[in-house]
Structure 1
Amino acid sequence: MLHQTIPLPRDIQRPQEQILVNITPQETRVAVLEDSVVQELHIERAASRGIVGNIYLGQVKRVLPGMQSAFVEIGLERAAFLHIADVLEQRQHPTEPQRIERMLFEGQTVLVQVIKDPIGTKGARLSTQISLAGRFLVHLPQDEHIGVSQKIESDSERQSLKARMENLLPEGSPRGYIVRTSAETASNRELAADIDYLSRLWADIRAKSQTLPAQSMLYEDLPLAVRVLRDMVSDHTGSIIVDSTENYERMVEFAEQYVQSAAGKIERYSGNRPLFELHGIEAEIEKALSRRVNLKFGGYLIIDQTEAMTTIDLNTGGFVGTRNFDETIFKTNMEATYAIARQLRLRNMGGIIIVDFIDMDSEEHRQAVLGELAKALARDRTRVTLNGFTSLGLVEITRKRTRESLAHVLCEPCPTCQGRGQIKTAQTVCYEIQREIVREARKFDAKGFRILAAQPVIDMFLDEESQSLAMLVDFIGKPVSLSVETTYTQEQFDVVLL
């Protein structure tokens, strides 16, 4: 059957992880290693940290009955915006229209959470429905309902998770929870630890709301260094090495309070060489920004990211094998499966990924490659769906977008090629310049023209295109001079009238 969904195995043998945390005042970088090979990179910059998820004790500044909304001061430069659709009472009773002027009044203090960052001249958008994210659960302390992520499709699995939650929740505690997809493989001990952490967090927020003044921030989402302990540490984590004394102490304190299983795994790095350089992470970051990924036996991948999807093309390269051509192709495809899965994690590529394996005639080989790819993808902590070969011989993977890809965090569109990934040849630019001169000669009665361009373009005019330049001079009847501009890119030029 073509294009069928391939289930990912759950009982795979996972290698031990090592987590490295590199911290500077400007940014925090986290690398996850398996068998000393980098599998994941996470980067958070101080200048671009948003406020989504933060909880404030807001103060209503103005109620707008006509817009069914209100402006709420939360201590930022601009007042934040609260719409009736994001008020708890309306969310709990969506079929019963409410009036915001009956719920809020000017000067009232109200517990709010940011659901959208400020953009341009617009303030942040707020909600009065509080949600606290844990590792396996999302706590909705104002609700009394246990929900399960829609991504968990099995009815039996959904019912089993609900039953487990009912048994684990302490008597009399808030029972509003959403079970996240990651909870499918979580043990009862891990779920209980998450419940305990979220319950304590909510109790702390409520206590602060009783004592702090209006417009105070009651909760800020954890920085990356601490989120590592909440979201990434598992039974497969061997050690967590951090190169900052201050953050080491903060992580140990957090672990002892909320994630006791991680407390003994945190280590302070004090070596002379930078932590990431010592483990070869800097070189891996450079490789992860390249289109080409070389494989061990001579093959290579070409990875192209676009807005719509990511494409991965596999080539045999210099791998010639030892037996026959079919065996060479099969071995190259098998080797590529783990490289592809690693690159998805390393580059954090999300959305639709199309893989073009080398064509295989044998159905047995095709199934073996899919099976190996499924095993490789099963290690990913992000939700992944694998589909079989299409009629065109392509494999489709979908991977949930959890954050910006590595390339989007570290790079920007090339100013020379405007993000195309290629630039015009010097010869193409020469012909553009000649057309421009003809246009200018027809519009203006200049004494002559001077071409300002990059060195390769000027060299082209002096060598291969010298005859066409001479024909141009003869055609317009005006002299043309050449001048190199060292600051120009190959596509930049100016035609100056003399």
Structure 2
Amino acid sequence: MDRSIIINVKTREKRYAVIENGKVSAIRIRQPGDAAKVGNIYLGKVADVKPGINAAFIDIGGIRHGYLHISRLPAFVNSKNSNPTISAYLSPGQTVMVQVKKDETGQKGPLLTGIIELSGEQIVYLPEGKYTAVSKKADDADRNKWRNRVRKALEPQEGIIVRTAAIHAGGDGWRDELKCLRLRYKCLLEKAAQLKAPAVLHEKSTVEAEIFRELVRLKSGTVIVDDAEALARLKALLAGRPELDWSFELYSGKQNIFTRYRIDRTLEEALKRVVWLENGAYLVIDETEALTIIDVNTGKYTGTTDQAETVLKTNLLAAKEIGRQLKLRDYGGIILVDFIDMQCDEQRAQVRAVLEKELENDEKQTRITGFTELGILQMTRKKTRKSLPEALLSVCPVCGGSGKIESPETLAFRLERELWEAPYADYEAVLIECTQDVKDCFCGETDVHLKRLENLLGMKLIFHITRDPHPFYAIRQFGTAAGLAAKGKDPN
């Protein structure tokens, strides 16, 4: 498989893109002040305790307090209390070591855990996790063997996750990592004892760390970087990893590297609501606070045979593109897909199989739960950070993020009501600034409504047309007709 990673780190905004078989499969962008915090460890201070939801809000130094549920406290995990409350473990002002599980999104603060995870190449160490797991990529026999093996090396309160790399490597390399990770945790405890909360104990997420994970996941290909120092650091990260076959190139062209490799075009398309498929059908993608909704439409595609075959072909094509868009845009959480109605379970199974295949090599854990009675496909994808659109786009100040604004008709009728309430008896004329579409709706054909209202109000209405992409109006000034006519455009 042809793979490459294009890296743009010369400027303050850090970007990289993964290309597989000639198509961009992922774009990741990190802006200053918006770095991912997943994996970071903090000494936090309990800001508030909520017994009603068995959770606490923790100040870790950010704009929003983090959310910590009782089920993510080591003391609760190791307790035999069958009916505990959060108040039994935490109180306001108390300090607590926490790790970020999910970045803040929208109006929600970061999701926190008190069960710290320290990652190595072969294992993940949980100092107080009391949990043992083995990579699901191993068969059941190997997984049982590894569970029994690692448990013997753990203290009662400790936990461990055995990675696929440990299974492939064999041997006792994981034991050496366990010793190193135990020492790292001891250092974190010592550091926490010396600091005042809130404070950062460990920062994990960096762009180069993310790229390294991609290098390990994809195994081989070409890395093209526009910065010599970053190139040298990435080469150093691969030292001693002969199983990874990557070639490196330094890009020194004047054109931005994303533009040179046509990634900017893909990025622009990844921010659009509508995604066109190659047969003329299209997807409509809406991301909300609670979930992501994808609607499949036949569009211009009508097929050449019967309707059922047209529907199936469109849904199969859509399933493949949906898998790509989920990875490209990095959507997470609950995802609902409204495929075009299919009449039999066999066709639904075909569509599901295509989507599952497209997500086979996804870096994020995904779970497809199946179709509902209404024919909606339900799935989840692990969410650890903002999606690409959420990170790059801001809420429209006009529509407030709804995607809808008031129509010219609505504003024209509101203007009429305001004029009825205005002190028109004291003035000869009024100057109104508005867009052309609002004026047209207000005045009507051949200015029939304008003339009627002027007669009823006994006042001349003078309009000044302004250019604005959104329908708009404002009552600017009352005065004489002659004085205001010079400031506006008299329609008569």
The reply to whether TM is greater than 0.5 is yes
- Corresponding residue of 2:266: 284
Q: Is the 8 A contact 1:23 1:243 kept in 2?
A: yes
CA distance in 2, matches of 1:373, 1:173: 42
- Corresponding residue of 1:188: 167
- Corresponding residue of 1:334: 316
Q: Is the 8 A contact 2:39 2:204 kept in 1?
A: yes
223-232 vs 194-203, which moves further: 194-203
Distance 1:343 1:287, change over 3 A: same
- Corresponding residue of 1:422: 404
1:29-178 mapped onto 2 (5 Å cutoff): 29-49=15-35, 53-55=39-41, 92-93=78-79, 95=81, 112=97, 115=100, 130-134=116-120, 137-141=123-127, 146-147=132-133, 160-161=142-143, 163-167=145-149, 176-178=158-160
Q: Is the 8 A contact 1:299 1:318 kept in 2?
A: yes
CA distance in 2, matches of 1:343, 1:200: 39
Structure 2 residue ranges without an equivalent (≥5): 46-57, 88-94, 480-492
Counterpart of 1:31, as a letter, is A
Q: Is the 8 A contact 1:300 1:315 kept in 2?
A: yes
Distance 1:162 1:217, change over 3 A: farther
Superposed CA offset, 1:221-278 (max 9, x none): 1412223213662254423333222222222223326x5644x525243241432223
Aligned length: 458
- Corresponding residue of 2:251: 270
User: Is 1:20 the counterpart of 2:6 in the alignment?
Assistant: yes
411-420 vs 287-296, which moves further: 411-420
Superposed CA offset, 1:133-176 (max 9, x none): 35775312466653569xx7x9x978853632554699689993
- Corresponding residue of 2:297: 315
- Corresponding residue of 1:106: none
Superposed CA offset, 1:47-90 (max 9, x none): 1236664457x799xxxxxxxxxxx999x899x99x9x899678
**Structure 1 residue 348 displacement after superposition:** 1.6
**Structure 1 residue 35 displacement after superposition:** 0.6
- SS of 2:369's equivalent in the other structure is strand
**Structure 1 residue 408 displacement after superposition:** 0.7
Q: Is the 8 A contact 2:123 2:177 kept in 1?
A: no
- Corresponding residue of 1:247: 230
Superposed CA offset, 1:342-368 (max 9, x none): 111111222222222222335443332
Distance 1:193 1:224, change over 3 A: farther
**Structure 1 residue 289 displacement after superposition:** 1.0
**Structure 1 residue 402 displacement after superposition:** 2.2
419-428 vs 336-345, which moves further: 419-428
Aligned with residue 349 of structure 2, among 363, 367, 375: 367
User: Is 1:229 the counterpart of 2:212 in the alignment?
Assistant: yes
Distance 1:421 1:87, change over 3 A: closer
Distance 1:142 1:322, change over 3 A: closer
**Structure 1 residue 281 displacement after superposition:** 1.3
- SS of 1:402's equivalent in the other structure is coil
User: Is 1:382 the counterpart of 2:364 in the alignment?
Assistant: yes
Q: Is the 8 A contact 1:276 1:282 kept in 2?
A: yes
Distance 1:77 1:281, change over 3 A: closer
CA distance in 2, matches of 1:287, 1:472: 47
- Corresponding residue of 2:52: none
Distance 1:493 1:315, change over 3 A: same
- Corresponding residue of 2:50: none
1:5-16 mapped onto 2 (5 Å cutoff): 15=1
**Structure 1 residue 308 displacement after superposition:** 2.8
Counterpart of 1:429, as a letter, is L
CA distance in 2, matches of 1:390, 1:238: 40
- SS of 1:387's equivalent in the other structure is strand
- SS of 2:208's equivalent in the other structure is helix
- SS of 2:216's equivalent in the other structure is coil
**Structure 1 residue 212 displacement after superposition:** 12
**Structure 1 residue 382 displacement after superposition:** 1.6
Distance 1:172 1:470, change over 3 A: closer
Counterpart of 1:458, as a letter, is K
- Corresponding residue of 2:463: 482
Distance 1:464 1:289, change over 3 A: farther
**Structure 1 residue 28 displacement after superposition:** 1.8
- SS of 1:221's equivalent in the other structure is coil
- Corresponding residue of 2:49: none
Counterpart of 1:457, as a letter, is V
CA distance in 2, matches of 1:236, 1:124: 32
**Structure 1 residue 385 displacement after superposition:** 2.0
1:205-220 mapped onto 2 (5 Å cutoff): 206=186, 214-215=194-195, 219-220=202-203
Q: TM-score, normalised by structure 1?
A: 0.73
CA distance in 1, matches of 2:214, 2:169: 12
Distance 1:446 1:279, change over 3 A: same
Distance 1:391 1:137, change over 3 A: same
CA distance in 2, matches of 1:94, 1:134: 31
Distance 1:111 1:164, change over 3 A: same
**Structure 1 residue 440 displacement after superposition:** 2.0
Higher relative contact order (CA 8 A, sep 6+): 1
Counterpart of 1:27, as a letter, is E
- Corresponding residue of 2:430: 449
**Matched-pair identity in %:** 29
Aligned with residue 394 of structure 1, among 355, 370, 376: 376
Counterpart of 2:402, as a letter, is R
Distance 1:380 1:55, change over 3 A: closer
**Structure 1 residue 445 displacement after superposition:** 3.9
**Structure 1 residue 295 displacement after superposition:** 0.9
Distance 1:196 1:231, change over 3 A: farther
CA distance in 1, matches of 2:446, 2:215: 60
Superposed CA offset, 1:371-428 (max 9, x none): 2222223232222222333332222222222221111101011122221212233233
Distance 1:73 1:266, change over 3 A: farther
- Corresponding residue of 1:5: none
- Corresponding residue of 2:486: none
- Corresponding residue of 2:454: 473
User: Is 1:358 the counterpart of 2:325 in the alignment?
Assistant: no
CA distance in 2, matches of 1:362, 1:209: 58
